[in-house]
């Protein structure tokens, strides 16, 4: 259902090659981290997986189906960004249930699902609040809740913690990991922070200038970096 397959994917903006011949297989249920320096193409690759960006070459499959052939509502992909734009005039409950209301799900199902996810994320007491009444960490949790409620087959995270302070980052990182353990949704998580990558990734893809520099488990990268670049990047302070 949620396996992600990239084969020979390239993407240019005008004359600039941003993604170069990237092939990556992400198994159903796997937590994959994409790491690389700023400008290495992480966000572009994530947008390509989401079907939001056309490729210049290659193919992208989700659950065996070509993303370009899937209608938007069939894509079944949820994205969580660093700028977690919540609807300011809606309560936490309304923000979280928005996608289900759009789909005209039955009211009791919407309530049950929203309550369940709120409980999972420790948001039960905040359901009637407005975004402006929340802390940054709470808002980020609502943004995740909004994505989880939809039951997507793939989660895409683009540096979701970069607006949080260090302590909160560690906490929310743990929460995302627990969440993945619990619901096991295929996830692609973009970061430029190697501590985040090493602690969260089951598989890590190192990007450099739009190319895959190395793919491996955290241990592979730590023990057997393929290049000075990977060794330096994985070993450098955040």
Q: Which is nearer to ligand ADP, 34 or 142 (CB)?
A: 34
Beta-carbon contacts of 154 under 8 Å, excluding residues fewer than 6 positions away, are 2, 4, 49, 62, 76, 77, 78, 185, 186, 187, 188
- Scanning 42-50, 56-64, 87-95, 214-222 for contacts with ligand ADP by CB under 6 A, the matching segment is 42-50
Q: Which is nearer to ligand ADP, 39 or 136 (CB)?
A: 39
Provide the terminal-to-terminal Cα distance of the chain, rounded to the nearest Å.
35
Residue 41 binds to ligand ADP (criterion: CB under 6 A): yes
- Scanning 34-42, 66-74, 99-107, 124-132 for contacts with ligand ADP by CB under 6 A, the matching segment is 34-42
Residue 160 binds to ligand ADP (criterion: CB under 6 A): no
With CB under 6 A as the contact rule, the residue among 1, 23, 39, 112 that binds ligand ADP is 39
Residue 14, φ and ψ in degrees, nearest 5: 60, -125
Q: Which is nearer to ligand ADP, 17 or 115 (CB)?
A: 17
Closest distance of CB 40 from ligand ADP, Å: 4
Edge-to-edge strand order for the sheet containing 186-191? 77-81, 154-158, 186-191, 31-35, 203-208, 211-216
Sign for the CA dihedral angle at 230, 232, 237, 238 comes to negative
Binding site for ligand ADP (CB under 6 A): 13, 18, 36, 38-44
């Amino acid at each position: 259902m949620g396996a992600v397959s990239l084969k020979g994917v390239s993407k240019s903006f005008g004359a600039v090659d941003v993604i170069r011949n990237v092939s990556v297989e992400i198994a159903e249920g796997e937590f994959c981290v994409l790491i690389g320096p700023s400008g290495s193409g992480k966000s572009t690759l994530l947008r390509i997986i989401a079907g939001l960006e056309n490729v210049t070459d290659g193919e992208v499959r989700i659950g065996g189906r070509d993303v370009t052939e899937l209608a938007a509502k069939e894509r079944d992909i949820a994205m969580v960004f660093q700028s977690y734009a919540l609807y300011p005039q809606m309560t936490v409950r309304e923000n979280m249930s928005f996608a289900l209301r759009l789909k005209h799900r039955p009211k009791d199902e919407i309530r049950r699902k929203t309550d369940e996810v709120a409980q999972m994320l420790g948001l039960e007491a905040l359901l009637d609040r407005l975004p402006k009444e929340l802390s940054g960490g709470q808002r980020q949790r609502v943004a995740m809740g909004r994505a989880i409620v939809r039951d997507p087959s793939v989660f895409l995270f683009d540096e979701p913690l970069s607006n949080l302070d260090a302590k909160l980052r560690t906490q929310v990182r743990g929460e995302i990991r627990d969440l993945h353990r619990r619901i096991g949704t295929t996830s692609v998580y973009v970061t430029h922070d190697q501590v985040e990558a090493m602690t969260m990734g089951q598989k890590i893809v190192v990007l450099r200038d739009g190319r895959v520099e190395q793919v491996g488990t955290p241990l592979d990268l730590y023990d057997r970096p393929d290049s000075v670049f990977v060794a330096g990047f994985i070993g450098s302070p955040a």
